[in-house]
Structure 1
Amino acid sequence: MLIAIGCDKDDNSSNNATSSISIKLMDDPADFDNVFVEVVDVMVKRIEDNDDENGWESLNPINTGVYDLLELTGGLNVLLVDDFQIPSGELNQIRLILGDDNTVVIDGETFSLNTPSAQQSGLKIKVNETLEANIGYTFLLDFMVDESIVIAGNSGNINLKPVIRASIEANTGAISGQVLPTGIQVEVTTEVGTEIVSTYTDEDGNFVLVGLDAGVYDLTITPEEASGLSPVIIEGVEVTVGNTTTIETVTIE
């Protein structure tokens, strides 16, 4: 059965909904040979409160290690967190935790960077964003090195007092809907390039396909074989970045 069906945009989220976030680190040019920092963790705090030390959650970064920030310019970046799922809603802060292997190279000579706050409590970046359900977001952390490294007078100490600018972009959309009758297992699939993205309806017949690039998709709705019902194809469902497209209720026969 082939159906062309209308759809609309729906940004509402449920209490159990999640969003995915990725975090990339980049830098602006600066007048140093190299600036090496050791990233050991990336954390977020979802709710703003007066307790600065509790409520932090690790995002299990995939690319920890030592990076030369001056190589992360001109559009280059390092992916620290890749599509990590967190509850939708308020996101208050991001925190970079640094190790102790942080140095700056000036005129060929290497100096240790003093980063006490970064090692003890992390580099905290206020974001204050609301994450919509089922949407993927990328946070770009722009490490302003030229403003962050301070040479402390006659002491010879070189301190890292980070200035980081954070920007956010939604990078995917989603498709949701309801399939009737309920009480049977129904698979919903679509093609994203050469890959198949799929999900099953819940007990009420609802489904959400997440992580979809902007574009137009055809959905295949396949009931379990024992039901005796026929598959349905939904053509021309448009997805835009940052939105969930909700199709009209589909009844399979």
Structure 2
Amino acid sequence: MKFTTLFSLTLLAGLGLAGCSKDSSSDTQGNAKLEVRLTDAPGDFSRVSLDVQQIEVHLKDENDPKGWQFLPFTPQAINVLDYVNGRSALLVSTDFAAGDLKEIRLILGPNSTVTTRDGEVYALKTPSGQSSGVKLKLDKVSLRQRETFQLLLDFDVAKSIVERGNWKPGNDKKERFLLKPVIRLVAQDVAGGLYGQVTPAAALPQILAIRSSLTPADTFSTSADATGAFKLQALPSGTYRVEFYPTTVAPINQPAYQTVTRSGVVVTNNQATDMSQISLLK
């Protein structure tokens, strides 16, 4: 795995996180693929619900106000404690024009809450500046054509939620906790892949690689060439279900072609997984 930038940030203004969008892979000429994901270091709470509003990236010089671009998302509440011990939430997965990213800006709405171990729910307040968001600089992040790039937001709950020193039981629940986010931002190329050979080549199948380890699933597609060879590049690591759909009909008096599925195909970063030979004959 190639780490393009790795740094820790203590954010003292409003936080926002992208909502989820289901990806349908595209090989559109000139496009890259951009992912934004969220993971968490656990804290001593039973639930931390973030009111997710939007996420943007900046494509131009730092001081150019026209450089911000929205990423696709669905506003929602995310319990960050669901994503600990290596799990992560896919917030954004989208085709994106190749080029440099300068900054990302994160926005959180006003309805975040924290639930303590005794089941009490408290408003999670953010300091001023929430409406304009938090700008995080990216160092030398370049999206390349037909490759996948991932921004991982590693949220530290234990350090990010602060109890007011003068709060006492019976006080307004809106005043107990402040959100002063501590986030480690990891930007990295995603460069896994898989390849193989389909027989008979005349079946000319469409091939779908579905990352079944995600909810919703992430789907990538390609087609076998005239020799039956196929290859999918720039796949995020994970476990895939690979489906083969013939697009032609077998000649008369020959065995018919059939749809074939291979489950549990593991893709690892910076490696190409060999699926060997796949027969589509009944």
**Which one of the candidate residues 41, 44, 47 is aligned to 2:57?**
44
Which residue in the other structure is 1:60 paired with? 72
Instruction: State the aligned residue count.
Output: 178
Alpha carbons 1:189, 1:196 under 8 Å: kept: no
Which residue in the other structure is 1:35 paired with? 48
User: Cα distance 1:173–1:131, how it changes in 2: closer, same or farther (>3 A)?
Assistant: farther
Note the aligned Cα RMSD (angstroms): 3.3
**Which one of the candidate residues 67, 86, 101 is aligned to 1:75?**
86
- Answering whether residue 115 of structure 2 is matched by residue 102 of structure 1, we say no
User: Cα distance 1:50–1:41, how it changes in 2: closer, same or farther (>3 A)?
Assistant: same
- Following superposition, the deviation at residue 197 of structure 1 comes to 1.5
User: Cα distance 1:55–1:30, how it changes in 2: closer, same or farther (>3 A)?
Assistant: same
Deviations 1:213-238 (A, max 9, x none): 49xxxxxxxxxxxxxxxxxxxxxxxx
Give structure 1 stretches of 5+ with no counterpart.
Answer: 1-15, 175-187, 199-208, 215-239, 243-253
Query: What letter matches 1:50 in structure 2?
Result: N
Quick check: 152-161 or 26-35, which moved more? 152-161
Percent of residue pairs bearing the same amino acid type: 34
Query: What letter matches 1:32 in structure 2?
Result: F
Give structure 2 stretches of 5+ with no counterpart.
Answer: 1-28, 168-174, 194-203, 211-219, 224-230, 237-268, 272-282
What SS class does the counterpart of residue 75 from structure 1 fall into?
coil
Which residue in the other structure is 1:134 paired with? 146
Runs of 4+ in 1 over 6 A off after TM superposition: none
- Answering whether residue 222 of structure 2 is matched by residue 197 of structure 1, we say yes
Alpha carbons 1:40, 1:98 under 8 Å: kept: yes
Alpha carbons 1:27, 1:144 under 8 Å: kept: yes
- Answering whether residue 103 of structure 2 is matched by residue 93 of structure 1, we say yes
Deviations 1:192-227 (A, max 9, x none): 6597525xxxxxxxxxx985449xxxxxxxxxxxxx
Alpha carbons 1:17, 1:87 under 8 Å: kept: yes
What SS class does the counterpart of residue 70 from structure 1 fall into?
helix
User: Cα distance 1:49–1:189, how it changes in 2: closer, same or farther (>3 A)?
Assistant: farther
Higher percent of residues as strand: 1
